Amino acid sequence: MIRKVLLVDDDAAVREALSQTLELAEYEAVTAGSFVAAKDHITPRFEGVIVSDIRMPGRDGFHLLNYARETDPELPVILLTGEGDIPMAVKAMGEGAYDFLEKPCAAADLLAVIGRGIGARAQVLETRALKRQLERGDPAARLLFGSSPQSEALRERVRTVAPTLAEVLVTGPAGSGISKVAEVIHLMSPRAQGPFLKRPAAGLDAAEFTRLCKDAAEGSVFLDEVSALSQATQYAALEQIEQGRGVRLLAGTTADLAALVEQERFNADLFYRLEGMRVRIPSLAERPEDIPVIFRHYVVQAAEQAGIPVPEVTPDFLAALMAQSWPGNARSLMSAAMRFVLGMPEEVAEAAELGLSEQMARVERSLLIAALGRHNGHASEAAQALKLPRKTFYDKLARYGIKPETYRR
């Protein structure tokens, strides 16, 4: 989440006082004593807001405001003045200032305005990031959301396996969008013009499977929760793969197929054919920084479906979302977005009722999982990245019931 504030004031004492206020509120203060010193920070990529005095020698706050508006009309600029000049305030707002405060202003008032500006800026930057993804033009960019390294790795993995026409096994936790990833693989494959037929594996007999493959000729068949496939249908699927009858087999599961093979509950030959091209979807707990991006996307989608304006999502609201583990992953986040749009945000209310220690424990757990996800389940590398002694790291894993091997790809 962005927390940067460019603070511009020619009075060093004022800069220092405001900088301390911002740092106590956990903002990153970037200070400058003039427009010239601030200019290089004012770019369309600036991840934060600008707070500037109006009365400064040389080029004043109005000049800075105009420069910022020309550089990026959606970059929030909050202007400060000690003059108490109402016409000046009107002029500032008319020229596009995000807000206007009179010095000296109460810390609570300043932080409230900055918080709103930060929320607005985050929404702008995330919308632009999504637009850039869409402009790439491929289904992975259009349909698989998230800005974390794990999300980008997922998109690249999909782009790698899609053109091969080989069988693919898509794995991930419940609610992570396994069937959606399988459809993206189909859309990016040479068989994209053919049918994409998906069926639950449970209850699918061998004859129905054979008929399904015929219906999907020159396209793809997706079997959801392939671990539930009967033994007879597993043999039929293996025969289909070995004979190559003009249909691509995509399979998805939340189960540990390797363990089922060891228990002789899943055909080993079929497993190894599917395992050759595996795509693993990381849980939201492994990439908490994606929660705001995905939630905002679902909020826009839900508002469009409901035919109502898109409500503002505040930084505090997003922080409450990120404090949760989301065992239902994207599916439960989508439901929360719909309830939020309709004025019923139960999940956030639940998080707000937790004590500080419980909220901190949830955040710590998500950081541990995220580190393991980034380092492919290697505990020693994750501990090093978090700058924790190995014993401390393992103690924390034990406390939260986290198993590193769960996050190995």
Pick from 189, 183, 178: which is nearest to 218 by CA?
A: 189
| CB distance 74 to 49 below 8 Å | no
Which pLDDT score is estimated for 137?
62
Mind listing the pLDDT tens digit for each residue in 267-292? 999 999 999 899 999 999 999 989 98
65: left (phi over 0), alpha (psi -120 to 50) or beta: alpha
The percentage of residues in the chain with a pLDDT greater than 70, rounded to a whole number, is: 91
Averaging pLDDT over each range in 212-226, 298-312, 385-399, which range is the top one?
212-226
Fold annotation for 141-282:
Rossmann fold (3.40.50)
Give per-residue burial for 375-401: e unless 16+ CB within 10 Å, then b: bebbbeebbeebebeeeebbebbeeee
- Beta-bridge mates of residue 99: 78
Domains 4-133 and 141-282 share a fold: yes
Task: Count CA within 13 A, CB hemisphere, residue 249.
Answer: 28
Mind listing the pLDDT tens digit for each residue in 49-108? 999 998 888 898 899 999 999 999 999 999 988 766 667 777 778 888 898 888 888 888
| Of 85-94, 168-177, 258-267, 388-397, minimum mean pLDDT range | 85-94
**Residue ranges per domain, the chain?**
4-133, 141-282, 283-352, 353-408
Please state the rounded mean pLDDT for residues 298-302: 87
- Please work out, in degrees rounded to the nearest 5, the angle formed at the alpha carbon of residue 302 by the alpha carbons of 301 and 307: 100
Fold annotation for 353-408:
Arc Repressor Mutant, subunit A (1.10.10)
Which pLDDT score is estimated for 352?
45
pLDDT confidence bin for 405, thresholds 50/70/90? confident
- Beta-bridge mates of residue 253: 171
Fold annotation for 4-133:
Rossmann fold (3.40.50)
Which pLDDT score is estimated for 355?
55
The CATH number fitting domain 283-352, selected from 2.120.10.30, 1.10.8.60, 3.40.109.10, 3.40.50.720: 1.10.8.60
Give me the amino acid identity at 221: V
Pick from 73, 93, 72: which is nearest to 81 by CA?
A: 93
Which pLDDT score is estimated for 350?
55
Q: What is the pTM of this model?
A: 0.60
Helices 107-136 and 315-322, packing angle to 10 deg: 70
| CB distance 177 to 184 below 8 Å | no
Judged against a pLDDT cut of 60, whether residue 4 lies above it is answered with yes
| CB distance 77 to 64 below 8 Å | yes
| CB distance 409 to 280 below 8 Å | yes
| CB distance 404 to 379 below 8 Å | yes
Pick from 115, 113, 109, 123: which is nearest to 93 by CA?
A: 113
Q: What are phi and psi of 367, to 5 degrees?
A: -70, -40
Q: Which residues have C-beta within 8 Å of that of residue 69, sequence separation ≥ 6?
A: 75, 77, 95, 96
Please state the rounded mean pLDDT for residues 236-264: 92
| CB distance 340 to 314 below 8 Å | no
Judged against a pLDDT cut of 90, whether residue 171 lies above it is answered with yes
Mind listing the pLDDT tens digit for each residue in 145-163? 888 999 999 999 999 999 9
Judged against a pLDDT cut of 60, whether residue 359 lies above it is answered with no
From CA 177, how far away is CA 198, in angstroms rounded? 13
From CA 324, how far away is CA 295, in angstroms rounded? 13
Q: Which residues have C-beta within 8 Å of that of residue 106, sequence separation ≥ 6?
A: none
Q: What is the DSSP string of 91-142?
A: HHHHTT-SEEEESS--HHHHHHHHHHHHHHHHHHHHHHHHHHHHHH-SHHHH
Q: What is the DSSP string of 161-187?
A: HGGG---EEEE-STTS-HHHHHHHHHH
From CA 142, how far away is CA 127, in angstroms rounded? 13
Find tokens 């707000």 and name the residue: 352
Q: Which residues have C-beta within 8 Å of that of residue 6, sequence separation ≥ 6?
A: 30, 32, 38, 41, 42, 46, 48, 49, 50, 51, 52
- Beta-bridge mates of residue 200: 224
* Strand ranges for 258-392 from DSSP E: 278-280
In this structure, is the dihedral angle defined by the CA atoms of residues 115, 121, 124 and 125, taken in order, positive or negative?
A: negative
